[in-house]
């Protein structure tokens, strides 16, 4: 089933057409990677899906309903979660307290415990922490987490809001090789229960997580398919010519 179906999406900033008829489908419980050179419109596409920015034309159907034009908080409430590059983790609080913050829109963790029953919330937090590899870190102050762990906490915090579709923009950026490998495991587990759309430049990472790949160029789809199909596509290679990504792809 298609969780996300985007048709004919356009967006201009002034005279610049940043999205120019974008079409994108993401199937339930699969992970689609969104690739493309700098400025292709990948982040803008995510801004449109989450309602952070308004599209000019086109349609965005999520879970069977048109969401284009809805407010950002309404789209989030319907089950579209987004992990930003700069985490919203509160460094002075423990990992557990950060999870509690994310568990409800109320920003009073103590009140949340009373409202939902601490045991119930704690079980959800334990499960989520387990999934993002932070079960052993729950009582650590978040400021002491490594870069990778901070990213996982952020993913966990988005998961606490019960999203059906998860959007992530360059989640492995700045991670060590080990952290990136762990992130691959986390994503491959998340696919069992969630639908994911991930923007990423690291080709090895993409190869390890993507069920399907969409390559964007100048605000529209240049190519689509499995990673193996994309890597041998002459159009894709032409667009990436001389860039690191092509080198990565060529030496894989
Ligand atoms: N708020 C804005 N106002 C004006 N122009 C914008 C705005 N947001 C994005 N753009 C322009 O839209 C184009 C696409 O930007 P976008 O950030 O979506 O690209 P991207 O594919 O995410 O690139 P990158 O790989 O570098 O993150 C760029 O030319 C950018 O300068
Ligand atoms: Mg971007």
Give the tens place of pLDDT for each residue, 55-96. Answer: 999 999 999 999 999 999 999 999 999 987 666 899 999 999
Do residues 74 and 178 share a domain?
Answer: yes
Do residues 55 and 175 share a domain?
Answer: yes
- Give the structural domain span for 94: 90-144
Please name the residue whose Cα sits nearest to atom 4 of ligand 1: 13
CA distances from 104 to 88, 154, 167 (A): 15, 15, 20
Do residues 179 and 246 share a domain?
Answer: yes
> Looking at residue 205, which CATH number applies to its domain?
3.40.50.300
Do residues 82 and 168 share a domain?
Answer: yes
In a domain, 32, yes or no: yes
Do residues 181 and 70 share a domain?
Answer: yes
Do residues 10 and 34 share a domain?
Answer: yes
pLDDT in tens, 3-49: 999 999 999 999 999 999 999 999 999 999 999 999 999 999 999 99
Let me know if 145 is exposed, middle or buried by CB neighbors in 10 A (0-12, 13-18, 19+): buried
Distance CA 104, CA 120 (A): 13
- What is the predicted pLDDT for the residue at 12? 97
Do residues 47 and 80 share a domain?
Answer: yes
Strands 16-27 and 31-35, sheet pairing: unpaired
Do residues 168 and 243 share a domain?
Answer: yes
Ligand minimally distant from the alpha carbon of residue 35: 1
In a domain, 238, yes or no: yes
Q: At what angle do helices 147-159 and 177-190 cross, to 10 degrees?
A: 10
Do residues 173 and 241 share a domain?
Answer: yes
In contact, 67 and 9? CB cutoff 8 Å:
no
Do residues 44 and 30 share a domain?
Answer: yes
Number of domains in the chain: 2
Cα of 226 from ligand 1 centre, angstroms: 25
φ and ψ at residue 162, rounded to 5 degrees: 60, 50
Average pLDDT, the chain: 90
In a domain, 151, yes or no: no
Do residues 139 and 168 share a domain?
Answer: no
Residue in the structure block whose two tokens are 């919203």: 88
In a domain, 153, yes or no: no
Cα of 39 from ligand 2 centre, angstroms: 7
User: Which residues, judged by CB distance below 6 Å to any ligand atom, belong to the binding site of ligand 1?
Assistant: 13, 18, 36, 38-44
- What is the predicted pLDDT for the residue at 159? 93
Closest by CA to 63, choosing from 83, 52, 79, is 79
DSSP 8-state secondary structure symbol assigned to residue 106:
S
Ligand 1 atom at minimum distance from 53 CA: 1
Please name the residue whose Cα sits nearest to atom 18 of ligand 1: 41
């Amino acid at each position: 089933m298609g969780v996300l179906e985007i048709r004919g999406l356009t967006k201009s900033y002034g005279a610049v057409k940043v999205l120019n008829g974008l079409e994108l489908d993401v199937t339930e419980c699969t992970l689609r990677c969104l690739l493309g050179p700098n400025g292709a419109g990948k982040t803008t596409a995510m801004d449109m899906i989450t309602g952070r920015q308004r599209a000019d034309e086109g349609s965005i159907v999520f879970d069977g309903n048109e969401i284009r034009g809805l407010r950002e908080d309404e789209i989030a409430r319907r089950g579209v979660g987004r992990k930003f590059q700069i985490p919203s983790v509160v460094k002075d609080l423990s990992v557990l307290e950060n999870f509690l913050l994310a568990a409800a829109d109320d920003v009073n963790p103590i009140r949340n415990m009373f409202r939902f029953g601490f045991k119930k919330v704690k079980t959800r937090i334990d499960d989520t922490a387990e999934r993002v590899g932070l079960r052993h870190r729950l009582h650590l102050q978040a400021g002491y987490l490594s870069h990778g762990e901070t990213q996982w906490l952020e993913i966990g915090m988005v998961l606490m809001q019960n999203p059906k579709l998860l959007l992530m923009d360059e989640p492995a950026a700045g991670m060590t090789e080990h952290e990136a490998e762990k992130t691959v495991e986390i994503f491959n587990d998340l696919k069992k229960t969630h639908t994911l759309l991930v923007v990423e430049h690291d080709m090895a990472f993409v190869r390890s997580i993507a069920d399907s790949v969409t390559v964007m160029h100048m605000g529209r789809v240049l190519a689509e398919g499995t990673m193996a199909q994309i890597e041998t596509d002459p159009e894709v290679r032409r667009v990436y010519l001389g860039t690191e990504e092509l080198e990565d792809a060529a030496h894989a």
